[in-house]
Amino acid sequence: NSEDVRCKCICPPYKDHSGHIYNKNVSQKDCDCLHVVEPMPVPGPDVEAYCLRCECKYEERSSVTIKVSSVLLLA
């Protein structure tokens, strides 16, 4: 399920740009700043420096397990 995977990039403040968290449904191999951060908040020459500061993590979850656990908890 595409809703059960995501790439989360946490980018700290850079120059005059505030920090931001980006989420996008991409494959694990595409889980990096260049594929997730859209629109890119910095101009071309600063992209590499900006992306080096970002921390990107691939996350998976099982929505079926979450739903079953919720039903059991409420029962």
- Residue 66 one-letter amino acid: I
**The residue to which tokens 């020459």 are assigned:** 45
pLDDT at 3: 64
Q: How far is 11 from 23, CA to CA, in rounded Å?
A: 11
Asked if pLDDT for residue 1 goes beyond 60, the answer is no
pTM: 0.75
Number of alpha carbons in the 13 Å side-chain half-sphere of residue 69: 5
- pLDDT, tens digit, 9 for 90 and up, residues 11-66: 999 999 999 999 999 999 999 999 999 999 999 999 999 999 999 999 987 777 77
